[in-house]
């Protein structure tokens, strides 16, 4: 047991950033946008003056020394309309230079109710209609010519399907390695392994469809994983056999705990670094 845990440690030996977990995001796909300028979000009821905004404004101006770019940055940071002001969080992405791709991903402390603002190099200010974020990792299509912005359901559904398939494959691979390592392999045991993991993955994804947002969602996910671990441990204790004899319940329980912990932690690490979170 300690050997297994010791072998797992190098996978998680990274620098702690005090808030390491899934982060919400807003991806804006812009069409009919300007060729040059800067894009950011306006949050509803935000603080128009804060030290983060002052610091980031100075940093952006230093990064973009051109006079027209600096003027656009100043307009962006000091813009405010009725009930809205520029969103500048203490961490995460919040402002981008207009790019040919037309796709921009804002991460970490993203607002729920917001507008998109684009400031061109000739001083023009382009605003979207107000919109509310519904998904944890939301994708919006924004037409800069009309100001219309809508949450893209098709891409969110696609991302969800990819996440489900990837989570399932990752879980099966990790837990199968430990299944063999604990010497539980046999044709019937493998059938039971596939069956219970398929059932628990279905239950987990049903929960994720209705999971709350933010830290509450992460806490709920951890609790769901604990319940799944208990279900699998009970199932293994009742069904696994070795040479027509029941395998010790202690072995089954330890396997369920180690395998589920490994698949959960590694999965969380991978999703956090590649897609910004499971949700």
Residue scoring higher pLDDT (85 or 158): 85
Rounded CA gap, 69 and 234, in Å? 63
207 pLDDT above the threshold of 60 = yes
pLDDT at residue 164 in the model: 77
Residue scoring higher pLDDT (163 or 236): 236
pLDDT at residue 274 in the model: 38
User: At how many degrees (to 10) do helices 249-274 and 153-181 cross?
Assistant: 140
User: What is the pLDDT averaged over residues 65-82?
Assistant: 87
User: What is the pLDDT averaged over residues 190-216?
Assistant: 81
Residue scoring higher pLDDT (130 or 83): 130
Radius of gyration of the chain (CA): 24
Cβ-contact 143, 31 below 8 angstroms: yes
Residue scoring higher pLDDT (81 or 249): 249
20 pLDDT above the threshold of 50 = no
257 pLDDT above the threshold of 90 = yes
- For 114, residues 6+ apart whose C-beta sits below 8 A from its C-beta are 26, 41, 42, 43, 44, 84, 87, 130, 131, 133
pTM of the model: 0.51
pLDDT at residue 195 in the model: 92
Scan for tokens 């917001």, then name that residue: 114
3 pLDDT above the threshold of 60 = no
pLDDT tens-digit readout, 91-142: 667 889 998 888 999 987 788 889 999 999 998 999 999 999 888 788 999 9
User: What is the pLDDT averaged over residues 157-180?
Assistant: 82
9 pLDDT above the threshold of 80 = no
As a whole-number percent, the residues of the chain with pLDDT over 70 amount to 78
What's the whole-number average pLDDT of the chain? Answer: 81
24 pLDDT above the threshold of 50 = yes
- pLDDT grade for 160, boundaries at 50, 70 and 90: low
Residue scoring higher pLDDT (269 or 183): 183
pLDDT at residue 170 in the model: 86
273 pLDDT above the threshold of 80 = no
4 pLDDT above the threshold of 70 = no
DSSP secondary structure of the chain = -HHHHHHHGGGG-----S--S---EEEEEEES--SSEEEEEEEET--SS-HHHHHHHHHHHHH--SHHHHHHHHHHHH-EETTEEE---SSS--EEE--TT-EEEEESS--SEEEEEEEETTS-EEEPPPEE--SSEEEEEEETTT--EEE-HHHHHHHHHHHHHHHHHHHHHHHHHHHHHTT---HHHHHHHHHHHHHHHHHHHHHHHTPPSHHHHHHHHHHHHHHHHHHHHHHHHHH-EETTEEPPHHHHHHHHHHHHHHHHHHHHHHHHHHTS---
pLDDT at residue 271 in the model: 55
Rounded CA gap, 35 and 120, in Å? 8
């Amino acid at each position: 047991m300690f050997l297994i845990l010791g072998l797992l440690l190098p996978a998680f030996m990274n620098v702690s950033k005090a808030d390491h977990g899934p982060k919400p995001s807003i991806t804006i796909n812009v069409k009919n946008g300007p060729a040059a300028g800067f894009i950011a979000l306006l949050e509803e009821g935000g603080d128009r003056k804060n030290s983060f905004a002052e610091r980031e404004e100075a940093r952006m101006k230093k990064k973009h020394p051109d006079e027209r770019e600096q003027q656009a940055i100043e307009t962006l940071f000091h813009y405010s309309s009725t009930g809205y002001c520029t969103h500048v969080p203490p961490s995460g992405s919040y402002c981008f230079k207009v790019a040919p791709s037309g796709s921009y991903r804002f991460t970490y402390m993203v607002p729920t109710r917001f507008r998109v603002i684009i400031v061109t190099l000739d001083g023009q200010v382009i605003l979207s209609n107000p919109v509310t974020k519904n998904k944890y990792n939301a994708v919006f299509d924004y037409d800069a010519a009309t100001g219309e912005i809508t949450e893209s359901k098709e891409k969110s559904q696609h991302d969800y399907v990819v996440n489900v398939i990837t989570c399932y494959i990752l879980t099966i691979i990790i837990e199968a390695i430990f299944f063999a390592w604990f010497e539980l392999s046999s044709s019937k045991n493998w059938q039971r392994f596939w069956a219970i993991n398929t059932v628990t993955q279905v239950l987990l994804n049903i929960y994720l469809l209705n999971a709350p947002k933010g830290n509450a969602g992460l806490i709920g996910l951890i609790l769901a994983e604990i319940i799944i671990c208990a279900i699998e441990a009970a199932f293994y204790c009742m069904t696994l056999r070795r040479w027509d004899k029941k395998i010790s319940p202690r072995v089954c329980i330890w396997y369920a705990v180690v395998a589920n912990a490994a698949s959960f932690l590694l999965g969380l690490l991978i999703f956090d670094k590649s897609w910004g979170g499971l949700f």
